[in-house]
Amino acid sequence: MGHPLWMRIARILVPVAVGPVTVTMAGAQPARPSSGPAPRIRFETSAGTFVIETYPLEAPRTVAHITSLVKSGFYDGQRVYRALPGFVVQFGDPQTRDESTRSVWGRGVAASSGTPIGVSEISEKRKHRAGAVGVAHRGLPAQADSQIYITLYVRSELDGQYAVFGQVLEGTDVPSQLREGDTIIRATTN
């Protein structure tokens, strides 16, 4: 069953945008703010700065875990270890601070904080659109820990497999400029 007639007409008559719209990541749409307090995380990188809004209503333990790691300085000085144009950029492995361990970046038990989130907070509400921020895992969503990825394009094949806990709000052009080896200089949260 479709939308009522008045809703279909309103969609045609209501202007979509009141000013210029800039899209920096393929298919990026303005983020819908979550209800309730939504911590923001600021990542200063060697390629620029970006800010994400988190979704504490849909992923409360994931947001609490990641913001706790940010506050402890866990991400400071780490490097991006995965950068696939049109797909994702990924970081969150403390081994990346040591260039001599490059062959194992992103792999093994040492590639995390060592404290998994412990629950899977995959939400039907949050999808893998451009700029979505999620937590990676090695096969079991509840074992996700510190590794964060940002989708650079709509990646619906990831929906239902990984928890999306945030969305890039500011500096939307920065994630697509990140390359393997780029540094997370500092991460802070409000």
Q: Which residue segments constitute the domains of the chain, with CATH numbers given?
A: 24-189 (2.40.100.10)
Rounded to a whole number of angstroms, the distance between the first and last alpha carbons of the chain is 43
pLDDT at 40 over 60: yes
Tokens of 36: 């309730």
What was the pLDDT predicted at 3?
A: 44
Pick 37 or 20 by higher pLDDT.
Answer: 37
User: Of all residues in the chain, what percent carry a pLDDT higher than 70?
Assistant: 81
Mean pLDDT of the chain: 85
Q: In whole angstroms, give the CA distance from residue 75 to residue 69.
A: 7
What was the pLDDT predicted at 36?
A: 53
Strand boundaries in the chain, DSSP class E: 40-45, 48-54, 82-84, 88-91, 132-135, 148-151, 164-170, 184-189
Per-residue pLDDT band at 37 (split at 50, 70, 90):
low
Exposed/middle/buried for residue 184 (C-beta within 10 Å: 0-12, 13-18, 19+): buried
Find where tokens 């210029």 sit.
Answer: 20
